[in-house]
Amino acid sequence: MSQQPIILFDGVCNLCNSAVQFVIRHDKAEKFLFASLQSNFGQQLLQQHQLPLQQFDSFILLQDEKVYTKSTAALKVAQQLNGAWKSLYFFTIVPTFIRDGVYAFIASHRYRWFGKMNECMIPTPQLKGRFLG
């Protein structure tokens, strides 16, 4: 598996795709790789890490042989971005059950609020190398 951190995301969720685009814009070192949870590669990673195969409501970060999910994954990613986004990591002082409760609320309404695509996004030729599977 790649030594670069891998972000797994819901490939049909507009909010999730916007979050991936945000990470791409603020990841000047091109540190992160991406895979949709629905892709064969994403499914293999989920199975390898004993994570649910049909639950697409979590943003997952695989880094240094560790799995981070939900708000912790998002904050760990923010910590590694360029600019002031690093400061969001401060919110790790908020207990995980509170952070993940807010995360779960947004995740459960994401399709209604932000919409859903019929199929996973296709990366541009410039970005294709950063998307796995």
Q: pTM for the whole thing? A: 0.88
In a domain, 1, yes or no: no
Task: Please report the pLDDT score of residue 71 as a whole number.
Answer: 95
Range(s) of the domain holding residue 80: 6-130
**pLDDT, tens digit, for every residue of 69-102?**
999 999 999 999 988 999 999 999 999 999 999 9
Q: Is 126 inside a domain boundary?
A: yes
The count of structural domains within the chain is 1
Residue 30's alpha-carbon distances to 57, 111, 127, in angstroms, are 25, 28, 10
User: Which has the closest alpha carbon to 126: 39, 21, 36?
Assistant: 21
In a domain, 53, yes or no: yes
